[in-house]
Amino acid sequence: MSQKIQAVRGMNDVLPSDAPAWQRLHAVAAEVFAAYGYAEIRLPVVERSELFKRAVGEVTDVVEKEMYSFEDRGGERLSLRPELTAGVVRAGIEHGLFFNRQQRLWCSGPVFRYERPQAGRYRQFHQLDVEAFGIATPDLDVEIIALAEALFRRLGVGGFRLQLNSLGTPAVRAAYRAKLVDYLRRFESSLDEDSRRRLSTNPLRVLDSKVPGTRAILEGAPQLPDHLDAPSRAHFETVQRGLSDLGIAYALNPRLVRGLDYYTHTVFEWTSTALGAQDAVCAGGRYDGLVEQLGGPPTPGIGFAIGVERLVLLMRAQEVPLPEAGPQVYFCRFGERADPAAAQLAETLRRRLPGLRLLLNAGGGALKTQLRRADASGARYALILGDDEAAAGRVQVKSLRGEGEPRSVAVSELPAQLAELLELPLLS
């Protein structure tokens, strides 16, 4: 045997046992997004590296340390996308989606970051992403937060904490940034190394530090919400009122800043203590300057991204009921005449009984072998067709879960009988 090749570190397979949770999440998400009037957009996994440098920011961890970048055979600098917002904005500009139009969009798929893999943190992970453009008013902030809440509720996961902050306008940020730097400089020698470096490159990011010594210093730091100008404050207060009107609980966190550079005004994050150290399951905020920064018309925007793996972990931990996925019926067949007859009958049953999950035996085998496969498949019923039955136009129906001998049923009666047993609709 030649040597095994393993998956790349931090990149996971989603095995069939996990797939139902993923399917459920995507089905519910698509339904909820449509219910709020959001349309799906599908984007390439690879973009020009330049896009992320300009959108996410050159002095962010994501761009500085975590991007998978390479030169293609034509010499283009490309990157695997580390997030979805930049691509949505790029596509929106390219296809003229932002000219005097409001857009409500969502997309999903894998994103890539070269991080240290651990529980809840991977190098390929998946995001569900929602973005809305062309509306600067706080009613949209409320809508988009309510949309995420609705998704969690419809999925049946709970126990989240929603944290909220406002970063104000770019001018507010700049003024606050100066005050923060003044304060932190006084403690420079006690800051951790990353924070010292960020002090000159991206000081707001220091607020995000998880290092205990730095956190202690931050206790006395000036707080962003105290420095908001009147319009930013009014915006933020309207968002809070709107959330309260909808009965959505939140906590203000003056230190909440997002890891990416383009945020303005409202920022938010849902965390769950059930996730351990990687506790953020959904994060987002307003980014009113981003479209223009990428060469589009001035267009306000707001959005969020959900970490799919983390949400699936919560679905499992909270034992969210999942729809059954395995076959309901296993069709055993043996004999020259029975084999093609069973294949035809299986097609007829699948067509006439929408929702039926029927597994047709393949690869031969004695009745005993086939019944063992039927049992292992988790099906509730086995259908058995041999040459004798085929000649007589009958099929045996055997319950695999519990009582009763196999019953012989006329082929013409079978669709109706199965529909009744499995509570499925029957088409003519």
Q: Which residues bind ligand ATP (CB under 6 A)?
A: 83, 113, 115, 120-122, 125, 127, 259, 278, 280-283, 305, 307, 309-310
Q: Taking a C-beta distance cutoff of 8 angstroms, is the pair 83, 131 a contact?
A: no
Nearer to ligand ATP, 113 or 333 (CB): 113
Which C-beta is closer to ligand ATP: that of 83 or that of 131?
83
**C-alpha distances in angstroms, 100 versus 97, 133, 296, 297, 400?**
8, 10, 12, 9, 61
Copy the structure tokens of residue 229: 């100008």
Nearest-approach distance from CB 316 to ligand ATP, in angstroms: 15
Q: How far is the CB of 140 from ligand ATP (least distance, A)?
A: 19
159: its two tokens = 């126990």
- Please, are residues 45 and 336 in contact by the beta-carbon 8 Å criterion? no
Minimum distance of ligand ATP from residue 124's CB (angstroms): 8
Helices H / strands E in the chain, number of each: 15, 16
CA-based nearest residue to 305, from 153, 37, 86? 86
- Minimum CB separation of residue 11 from ligand ATP in Å reads 11
Q: Around Cβ 348, how many Cβ atoms within 10 Å?
A: 12
User: Side chain identity at 47, as an amino acid letter?
Assistant: E
Residue 289 beta carbon to ligand ATP: minimum distance, rounded to whole angstroms? 18
Q: Which of 193, 194, 188, 197 is nearest to 217 (CA)?
A: 188
To ligand ATP, the closest distance from the beta carbon of 269 in angstroms equals 7
Nearest CA to 131 out of 368, 301, 375, 331 is that of: 301
Rounded distance between C-alpha atoms, residue 148 and residue 256, angstroms? 18
Q: Which is nearer to ligand ATP, 283 or 349 (CB)?
A: 283
Nearer to ligand ATP, 120 or 406 (CB): 120
Q: How far is the CB of 308 from ligand ATP (least distance, A)?
A: 8
Q: What percent of the residues of the chain are helix, what percent strand, and what percent coil, each to the nearest 5? A: 40, 20, 35
By beta-carbon proximity to ligand ATP, the closer residue of 278 and 318 is 278
* ∠ Cα 18 22 25 (to 5°): 145
Given the complex with ligand ATP, which of 83 and 389 has the nearer CB atom? 83
Of 309, 266, 314, which Cα lies nearest the Cα of 144?
Answer: 266
CB closer to ligand ATP, 120 vs 335: 120
How far apart are alpha carbons 140 and 341 in whole angstroms? 59
In whole angstroms, how close is the CB of 164 to ligand ATP at the nearest point? 15
What six digits make up the tokens of 131? 């973005």
Nearer to ligand ATP, 32 or 282 (CB): 282
Smallest distance from ligand ATP to CB 160, Å: 11
Residue with smaller CB distance to ligand ATP, 310 or 394: 310
CB 147 within 8 A of CB 303: no
